[in-house]
Structure 1
Amino acid sequence: MEHLGQPAPPTPRHGRRWPRRVAAVLAVLVAVTLFGAYGWRPAAVDGYRSAYESSYLDTPLARFHYSRTGSGSPVVLVAGGAQWLYSYRHTIAALSREHTVYAVDLPGQGYTTVKGEFAYDIPGMARALGTFLDAAKLPAVRLVGHSWGGAWSLYYAEHHPARVDRLVLLDSPGLDKPLASQTALFSIPVVGELAVKLMGRADFERSLRTAFAHQDRVTPEVVDETWHWMSRPDKREAFVRLVRSQDYTATDAGLARLRARTLVIWGQADQWLPASYASEYGRRIPGAVVRIIPGAGHNVHEDAPEQVNPLLATFLGD
């Protein structure tokens, strides 16, 4: 029996140490996570060399990587997120018969490098597009944009009506609607940085395949041509910044004042953005023409070039 006034037995030392050990482990985990997100830079893929012919154009803003093919009225192609001018290989071949076709990598894409700080928001990307057009001495053009590249082209056309005669949107965001669910993970601080740094070629290929309905078109070459540059630390970081900066409020608000003749092409089987977006563009852009491609995915121009290229050639032709 315990006597009154007798002190309680001392708490075992290991009972006091347990919370301290947990706190120490958690501190280490937090430190490792933050270092992985903001300190560690994964090595880029080496040894792969693209055979795609291209050139560079230096400006104070960036060293633009681009290609120029054919002759005739100028058409400028802008690729989508985590894509580059190679994604337009089928388009270039078809349009260069009647046009001078420029395919350009904007900041964060392909082999273009920015000089100094750059805002990866939509106005910033549109300004970069204008900088390239100025440097290439293209006062007026016909613009074709895919996915994010379509949103940047749309914003540019809304704010520079005298410089864009015709506009083509290929499965392009720009409406004030939720972002594609496939990019949601990269929007979360720390998690997004870790996810993009831990991404390997197999992860990239799985994501790319969701943009195609015809899986046979996602060949090892198609994967490698993009993964080679996307694996670079600066491109991974730029991708996260792009994901977090795509606010379509302004592009949505400017649809009614768009003056460029506009063609909207959409893959019916798009898993990233529903084909109903195309119909809304058709209702809200003055005079817009909408074409839905059955059995095609988000990368509609790569997934169904046989259907898309004739539409482009007719719409962009003189």
Structure 2
Amino acid sequence: MRARAQYTRVLGLRIHARVRGDGPPLVIVPGLGCASWMYARASRELARERTVYAYDPPGHGFSQGRPGFPAHIEDLTDHLAAWLEESGLQGVPLLGHSLGAEVIFDLAARHPGAARALIACAPTGIPENPSVRLQLLRLARDLPRERPGLLLPGLAAYARSGPALMLRLARDQSEHETGPLLPRVRVPTLLLDGTADPVIRSWTVRAIRAAIPHARVARIPGGTHALTDASPRAVARLTLDFLGEVDA
């Protein structure tokens, strides 16, 4: 099932999404420095039942950026809200990975009606993120556990985003107070927890579940931090089953 490129001008920037499949829409929001092409394996599985939009935030993937932007998590959130509206996708389910999950939590809390349901894979957000140094150490521990085929696409994505953008957003995570926002998330929420993820610990996922009303957790045995690439079938099955319940 071939993907097609979609470009939309949003707030003065040309924004890319990789679109695949046919059916009700679902948007994938990537992690820090990640790009749409890193989510191809999960997109193919999800596209069996959904039209999947793998979104590139400003300065990521094939999306246009500008100097100094985005500088804050809220910049990513507000731009995503504008892109959803411009693309006619307001109110669709969102699947966020890592920092992308923190962004969709923020979106659901501050932009009611922007999302119908949330699926958060290896979510950041609470407890407040550790220092940039500790985050890098955890990512270094995770890299040998990931699929070798993800290495080159990942390096290409990080090179495209650049160290300045990634460092700005990583530093902002320590100041982004997601915790107070989580109780304001009022849409059905599924948290996906990989049991072999050294970056996001299971107790962090449990804390998020306790903060979001009616959130549920599904654990993926052996799942690493790059859950959507390492365990695409499990992610897709859990997501599609969850959305089937939401839509019922």
TM-score range, shorter chain: 0.7 to 0.9
1:47-58 to structure 2, matched below 5 A, reads 53-58=4-9
Aligned-residue offset at 1:64: 1.0
Q: What is aligned with 1:47?
A: none
Q: Deviations over 1:258-295 (max 9, x none)?
A: 11100000111111121111111222211111011121
Q: Which amino acid aligns with 2:164?
A: E
Aligned-residue offset at 1:100: 1.8
Q: Secondary structure at the match of 2:237?
A: helix
Q: Secondary structure at the match of 2:233?
A: helix
Q: What is aligned with 1:210?
A: 142
Indicate conservation of the 8 Å contact 2:73/2:173, yes or no.
Answer: yes
Q: What is aligned with 1:239?
A: 166
Provide the rounded CA distance (Å) in 1 between the counterparts of 2:141 and 2:135.
Answer: 18
Provide the rounded CA distance (Å) in 1 between the counterparts of 2:36 and 2:166.
Answer: 16
Q: TM-score, normalised by structure 1?
A: 0.69
Q: Secondary structure at the match of 1:242?
A: helix
Indicate conservation of the 8 Å contact 1:56/1:64, yes or no.
Answer: yes
Q: Secondary structure at the match of 1:162?
A: coil
Q: What is aligned with 1:152?
A: 103
Q: Secondary structure at the match of 1:113?
A: coil
Q: What is aligned with 1:271?
A: 198
Aligned-residue offset at 1:149: 0.7
Q: TM-score, normalised by structure 2?
A: 0.88
Question: How many residues get paired?
Answer: 244
Q: Deviations over 1:237-277 (max 9, x none)?
A: 21111111124653210111211100000111111121111
Provide the rounded CA distance (Å) in 1 between the counterparts of 2:112 and 2:164.
Answer: 32
1:226 aligned to 2:154? yes
Q: Secondary structure at the match of 2:173?
A: coil
Indicate conservation of the 8 Å contact 2:139/2:199, yes or no.
Answer: no
| Aligned-residue identity in percent | 29
Please tell me whether Structure 1 or Structure 2 has the larger radius of gyration of its CA atoms: 1
Aligned-residue offset at 1:208: 6.9
Q: Which amino acid aligns with 1:153?
A: I
Q: What is aligned with 2:183?
A: 256
The structure-2 alpha-carbon separation of the partners of 1:185 and 1:307, relative to structure 1 and needing over 3 Å to count, comes to closer
Unmatched tracts of structure 1, length 5 or more? 1-50, 187-205
The structure-2 alpha-carbon separation of the partners of 1:184 and 1:312, relative to structure 1 and needing over 3 Å to count, comes to closer
Provide the rounded CA distance (Å) in 2 between the counterparts of 1:248 and 1:315.
Answer: 32
Q: Which amino acid aligns with 1:252?
A: G
Q: Secondary structure at the match of 1:231?
A: helix
Provide the rounded CA distance (Å) in 1 between the counterparts of 2:52 and 2:136.
Answer: 35
Q: What is aligned with 1:166?
A: 117
Aligned-residue offset at 1:306: 2.9
Q: What is aligned with 2:58?
A: 107
Q: Which amino acid aligns with 1:273?
A: I
The structure-2 alpha-carbon separation of the partners of 1:272 and 1:185, relative to structure 1 and needing over 3 Å to count, comes to closer
Provide the rounded CA distance (Å) in 1 between the counterparts of 2:98 and 2:131.
Answer: 11
**Alignment root-mean-square deviation, CA:** 2.5
Q: Deviations over 1:106-157 (max 9, x none)?
A: 1232121124652421111101111211221222110110001111111001
The structure-2 alpha-carbon separation of the partners of 1:183 and 1:257, relative to structure 1 and needing over 3 Å to count, comes to same
Provide the rounded CA distance (Å) in 1 between the counterparts of 2:134 and 2:28.
Answer: 23
Aligned-residue offset at 1:299: 1.0
